[in-house]
Amino acid sequence: MGAARHSGTTRKRVYGMSISRIVTAAVALLATFTMTTGVALAQAFEGSSAPWQMGLREAASPTMERINDFHNFLLVIITVISVFVLLLMVYIMLRFRASKNPNPSTNTHNTVLEVLWTVVPIVILVVIAVPSFRLLYFADRTVDAEMTIKAIGNQWFWSYEYPDSDNLTFDAVIVEEEDLEDGQLRLLTTDNDVVLPVNTKIRILTTATDVIHALALPNLGIKLDAVPGRINETWIEIEKEGVYYGMCSELCGSGHGFMPIMVRAVSKADYAKWVEEAKEEFAYEGKPGAPKDFAAARAEKARQIAARYEETGEVPTAN
């Protein structure tokens, strides 16, 4: 102890900087970092991946918070198992190596060991299964949804319907690289974004026009198959205003990588305002001049986009 403390004092003098100064500098650095991150968060939340990101995306819904917790819990379990197995194998390789054991053991059974290596994995699986099922049921659906949004996958764009607002509907097609404006993300930006209110329980329904697609929004903990002829359901409650990016997550054809999902979460008041504006711009049931059959119009648009994409091989955009 004394020697360690002594050498510490010597080092302190050598570098000419006291420990307390180092601590102060570290605290100042940390404070600056926290402040800048805080400011960044206070601006607008951006739900996208970052280069060299570790772990999952930042959670912005109760489901994703639980997915994150579950992921961290599993990480501990698999780390312990991996380290245990590694140490066991190193031990076996050293302790039972051929040079040390000219006459190999002829043991074939060990009842205690066999019971243990059966029971312990079962216990581990049960420990994983209980929170896993709890999470599955939590993410499944909400009984008291305040609104509903329907996402329809097409080759290769998404359409959205707002059943609570006279089936207000529009398509969201990718913005091509050369048309991107400053700050818009490549392969993730759509011409129309899906506007949703924060702090609202939103029921999500999804289906598809042609083949199986999948609605995925990592920050919100959503990955839901969009299957033709059936409706899948889940729910979200977005906690932060901002933009959330996602992608189709089911291989759905050659334009699969070009059908991003872009959600803009706004306050409830701004959402109500947006619905009024959107009704001017987009079609809804009963609007003069709106197509009689939204699904047929959508299918026709998908056919045109697919045909042009086949011809040119370029990103399948709307125009």
- CB of 206 or CB of 219, closer to Cu ion: 206
Distances 138 to 32, 55, 117, 132, 141 between C-alpha atoms, Å: 38, 22, 32, 10, 7
Within 10 angstroms of residue 273's Cβ, the number of other Cβ atoms is: 13
CA 280 to chain centre: 32
Which H helix or E strand runs over 247? strand 242-248
- CB of 67 or CB of 248, closer to Cu ion: 248
- CB of 252 or CB of 305, closer to Cu ion: 252
In degrees to the nearest 10, what's the CA dihedral of 28, 30, 35, 36? 110
For residue 192, the minimal CB distance to Cu ion (Å) is 17
Name the one residue in this structure whose structure tokens are 């409650």. 237
- CB of 67 or CB of 252, closer to Cu ion: 252
Within 10 angstroms of residue 168's Cβ, the number of other Cβ atoms is: 19
- Between CA 174 and CA 180 the distance in angstroms is 10
- CB of 194 or CB of 252, closer to Cu ion: 252
Binding to Cu ion in span 156-185, by CB under 5 A: none
Binding to Cu ion in span 237-256, by CB under 5 A: 248, 252
For residue 194, the minimal CB distance to Cu ion (Å) is 16
x/- string (CB under 5 A) for Cu ion, residues 200-229?
A: -------------x----------------
Name the one residue in this structure whose structure tokens are 């334009």. 255
x/- string (CB under 5 A) for Cu ion, residues 137-156?
A: --------------------
- CB of 12 or CB of 303, closer to Cu ion: 303
For residue 311, the minimal CB distance to Cu ion (Å) is 20
Which H helix or E strand runs over 248? strand 242-248
- Between CA 213 and CA 248 the distance in angstroms is 6
Residues in a beta bridge with 217: 222
Name the one residue in this structure whose structure tokens are 């009689």. 292
Which among 286, 246, 241, 281 has a CA at the least distance from the CA of 264?
241
For residue 159, the minimal CB distance to Cu ion (Å) is 12
Token digits of residue 289? 């001049």
For residue 259, the minimal CB distance to Cu ion (Å) is 5
Size of interface with Cu ion, in residues (CB under 5 A): 3
- CB of 152 or CB of 195, closer to Cu ion: 152
For residue 291, the minimal CB distance to Cu ion (Å) is 23
For residue 295, the minimal CB distance to Cu ion (Å) is 17
Residue 59 binds Cu ion (CB under 5 A): no
Note the residues at the interface with Cu ion (CB under 5 A): 213, 248, 252
